[in-house]
A and B are shown apart, each in its own frame.
Chain A
Amino acid sequence: MEDIKAIIEAMIFSSDQPLALDKIQDALPEVGMVELKGVIESLDNDYRQQGRGIVLKAVAGGFQFRTRDDLAPWVKKIRAGRPAALTSATLETLAIVAYRQPIVKAEIERLRGVDVSAPLKGLLEKKLVKILGRKDVPGKPIIYGTTKRFLEVFGLKDLSEMPTLRELRDIGG
């Protein structure tokens, strides 16, 4: 049991992307899925209870070690020169894509009331948004959606974990 825990810990540590449960299972076929989940949970508890600077986070369909979020001010000191902030225009565009995907550019522009070529391009470059295909209407416009990287950056297990949109009718009263 302890060995398995160490193995899984090493696997997650060495992976540069969130490591999917399936992948761990493939590498450890003799361990059952239920046991696997139990071990991961226990690993997660270990980190929490020992007050470590690292937490095990379930994100983007896998597991990843990350720094504890209250430690950001210190971690940033050794990572100078890398502001990862998105501009409001980019973030607005991203929010619309995330909540309304699959979506075409014209629809994003209708919702925002401005041209979104630049922010959309930025999002594609940052791999937060990807091309899903083309819509089968005249002009075959490109359909956009969010990526796994989006889930990773926002620390979401999957899209259902996104903050829920307020009901339209609740607003304005």
Chain B
Amino acid sequence: METTAAEERLNEPGCRSMPGYEVKLDIFQGPLDLLLYLIKKNEIDIYNIPITLITGQYIEYLHRLQSLNLDLAGEYLVLAATLIHIKSRMLLPVDPLPGEEEEDPRRELVEQLIEYQVFKEALLELDKLPLLERDVFKRGALADDDHPPPAEDEALEVNLFDLLQAFKKIASTWDVVMEIDREKITLAEKMNHILTILLERDGVSMEELLVCGISKSQLLYTFLALLELAKMRLIKIYQAETFGRIRIFATAA
């Protein structure tokens, strides 16, 4: 069933030649997926892949896919190169060193393919489970996925310098307490903590986050976590006016 659908998609005439449209190639989840599809289509033993045949078919598909999405094509080309490399190694006469076992050039790829296939199967099993918000529902969990920044303060993006300034300002209001015990905080914990807060609330101001911390190291870790999250583009940081309140939002999905 799946195979025929995939075939149809590929053979659709409009699919190839539409400049200006980005076509999401969701029939194949990547080069490994395409390769597995070809292996299944040809009813090939995965442990004994006829590399010439498969490489030929794979490259033929690439030609058809290539015009669709350049980004994807890049990853597909890496595997094409691997296939050609394996093919060339198989053509060369093997001259194993004494005491060394002759290795099948296909081995590494086959292992990767099998591992990938295991996950593909596990995925189908996972998808069969009764999923929350799809098959089963808990009490009154309403949609809170999109939370645009509140309109009250016109948001403008802040730079690193503003962030540092704000941090200094807040840090200076703290009475620094001498610490003897070393607290156990990790950056990951702080990052998750901030993400949890943002999951529960629309947005949070930097003051609120930094007030939670009692010690200097808490302050520092929170600040570092903010920088790290911003770098990972999981949060957005806004400031309405110079020296104004800095607010943090989760990046919209």
Contacts and interface: CB of A to CB of B under 8 A. Distances in A.
Given A114-B75, A130-B192, A98 B133 contact: no
Contacts of B234: 121, 124-125
Interface stretch (B6-14, B111-119, B169-177, B237-245): B111-119
Contacts of A69: 130, 135-136
Given A124-B195, A124-B234, A155 B130 contact: yes
A91 interface: yes
Interface string A38-81: 00000000000000000001000000111111001001000101
Nearest to A99: B122
Contacts of A160: none
Nearest to B72: A114
Given A72-B135, A125-B253, A165-B118, A154 B29 contact: no
Interface stretch (B55-63, B98-106, B138-146, B153-161): B138-146
Interface string A2-46: 000000000001001000000000000000000000000000000
B131 A114 contact: no
Contacts of B138: 16, 64-67
B139 to A, nearest CB: 6
Interface residues of B, number: 54
A141 interface: no
B137 A95 contact: no
A152 B33 CA distance: 29
B31 A92 contact: no
Contact residues on A (Cβ < 8 Å of other chain), bracket: 35 or more
B143 A132 contact: no
Given A112-B116, A114-B29, A114-B31, A127 B199 contact: yes
Contact of A92 (B29, B134, B141): B29
Given A114-B30, A156-B129, A127 B195 contact: yes
Contacts of B128: 163
A167 B251 CA distance: 39
Contacts of A131: 188, 191-192
B137 A111 contact: no
B79 interface: yes
Nearest to B192: A130
Interface in B193-208: 195-196, 199
Interface of A: 13, 16, 57, 64-69, 72, 75, 79, 81-82, 84-85, 87-89, 91-92, 94-96, 98-99, 110-115, 121-122, 124-127, 130-134, 142, 152-156, 162-163, 165-166, 168, 171-173
Given A124-B232, A130-B188, A172-B114, 11 more contacts: A66-B132, A72-B135, A79-B137, A82-B143, A92-B29, A96-B119, A113-B112, A124-B195, A130-B192, A132-B188, A172-B47
Interface of B: 26, 29-33, 45-47, 72, 75, 79, 112, 114-123, 125-139, 141, 143, 186-188, 191-192, 195-196, 199, 232-234, 250-251, 253
